[in-house]
A and B are shown apart, each in its own frame.
Chain A
Amino acid sequence: MQDSDTIAVSPDVVAREVSGEMVLLDLESGMYFGLDAVGAFVWAKLAERAHTFGDLVDGVAAEYDAPRDRIETDLHALFADLSEKGLVVTGAEAA
């Protein structure tokens, strides 16, 4: 994923923050998923509007004390997982 790639939440997903974590319900499949605190932080930003991958990395770096390359790796994995499950849309779909 490139810094300039746009990511947006899927319109089929409803999310609820509970005690600092996020639970996602995919209305299409009926499956639900949990996000930890960092995932919840990122999801909350995406819920406001679509962001580029680079924006999200910057946001996490500003919020959490972790090396940028570690953040990039973790977010790559996170969005690969979320995209595979249909919970986020990327690229042209997200614009």
Chain B
Amino acid sequence: MGINEPCNNASSTSGGFVIDWSLATARVQEAMPDAPYDRWVSPAGVVMAEFYRSGDDFVVRFPGQADFTLRPDKTPGGFDVIAHLAPDCAEDAVRTLVNNAITPIIGNYHGGKFLHGSAVAISDITGAEDAGIAFLGLSRSGKTTLAGAFAKAGHPFVTEDVIDIDLHDRVYRLHPKPSGLRLFADSAQHLIGNNPRFEDRDRKQEVAAGAALPFARAPVPLRHIYILGPDHDAQLAIRRLSSSEALAAILPHAFILDVEDRSRLRAHFMRMADLTQTIACHTLDYRRDYAELPAVIEAILASFSAD
């Protein structure tokens, strides 16, 4: 396996955290010499990502899409990021992976608080400033659709896939990550309604949402986190978690590059513990039916106002 000369350079920003990366020429994803030290596996058992060591480098492989080599650079904890597309994979896929996976992985490696989920800005609840609520959940749990329903109801998206939290003047804030919306066909039809053409109805596709689903333009204070339950036929229910329950509940939704780096794991654990001692966290169960979404929104807004 060799590294070809990079042929493209790009940056990805998130809450001020910048990733510089380069796109090298496409190559076949050959078998790695060693087993991965970590994997991301979807609830359906599909391997989404594999993590390897290669000397001092990390290699993050997204099967069928791209390999990312994270090579330590001169700065403490910094990396040069080199992406190799797999054959027949579109370049857009690499940009999505950089924004939605590589950036938060490296961000958390540097002490960030990136979580996998969506978020919206709620306004006019208490008459005060906009407040942010975040939705965490497993893949295909409905986070983006739920956030999209809020946006459709006038509460702008803050982010649809990666939650970027910082601590500013002792306030946790959500940073907007405007992006094209990646939706499944049925969600796109429900939220946007213009019957976009989907090549594969079993895969998410980026759709143009336009003014129908606006994005927030500035950071908003994070007020609540809702963790979507796995039962897609559950009755609507919202339960406030204790801080200790919340900590255990949000840890699986973080981005971790090196699960064997104990000092970083420890530091990340402490950051998440600090977060759950300040931010109210809830479980959210509801039937995944588009007709239910207005009631879900109403219940969430009611729980928000009650706290």
Q: Which residue numbers of A lie inside 8 Å of B, CB to CB?
A: 14, 16, 18-19, 21-23, 25, 27, 30, 32-34
A residues in contact with B243, CB < 8 Å: 18-19, 21
Q: Which residue numbers of B lie inside 8 Å of A, CB to CB?
A: 242-248, 251, 259, 262, 265-266, 269-270, 273, 276-277
A residues in contact with B246, CB < 8 Å: 18
Question: Across the interface, do B273 and A27 meet the contact criterion of CB distance under 8 Å?
Answer: no
Per DSSP, chain A at the interface is: strand
- Please measure, in the bound complex, the distance between the C-alpha atom of A33 and the C-alpha atom of B248, giving whole angstroms: 7
Question: Across the interface, do B266 and A27 meet the contact criterion of CB distance under 8 Å?
Answer: yes
Question: Across the interface, do A19 and B265 meet the contact criterion of CB distance under 8 Å?
Answer: no
Question: Across the interface, do A18 and B266 meet the contact criterion of CB distance under 8 Å?
Answer: no
Distance in Å: Cβ of A38 to nearest Cβ of chain B: 14
A18-B247, A34-B248 are contacts. A23–B277 as well, Cβ < 8 Å?
Answer: no
Question: Across the interface, do B247 and A23 meet the contact criterion of CB distance under 8 Å?
Answer: yes
Question: Across the interface, do A16 and B262 meet the contact criterion of CB distance under 8 Å?
Answer: no
- Please measure, in the bound complex, the distance between the C-alpha atom of A54 and the C-alpha atom of B266, giving whole angstroms: 31
Write the chain A residue with the least CB distance to B244: A21
A14, A18, A19 interface centre (most CB from chain B within 10 Å): A18
Question: Across the interface, do A14 and B248 meet the contact criterion of CB distance under 8 Å?
Answer: no
- Please measure, in the bound complex, the distance between the C-alpha atom of A27 and the C-alpha atom of B270, giving whole angstroms: 13
Question: Across the interface, do A32 and B248 meet the contact criterion of CB distance under 8 Å?
Answer: yes
Distance in Å: Cβ of A28 to nearest Cβ of chain B: 9
Question: Across the interface, do A14 and B269 meet the contact criterion of CB distance under 8 Å?
Answer: yes
- Please measure, in the bound complex, the distance between the C-alpha atom of A22 and the C-alpha atom of B269, giving whole angstroms: 13
Question: Across the interface, do B269 and A21 meet the contact criterion of CB distance under 8 Å?
Answer: no
Question: Across the interface, do A16 and B265 meet the contact criterion of CB distance under 8 Å?
Answer: no
Question: Across the interface, do B276 and A14 meet the contact criterion of CB distance under 8 Å?
Answer: no
Question: Closest 6 CB pairs between A and B?
Answer: A21-B244, A18-B243, A19-B243, A16-B273, A27-B262, A14-B266
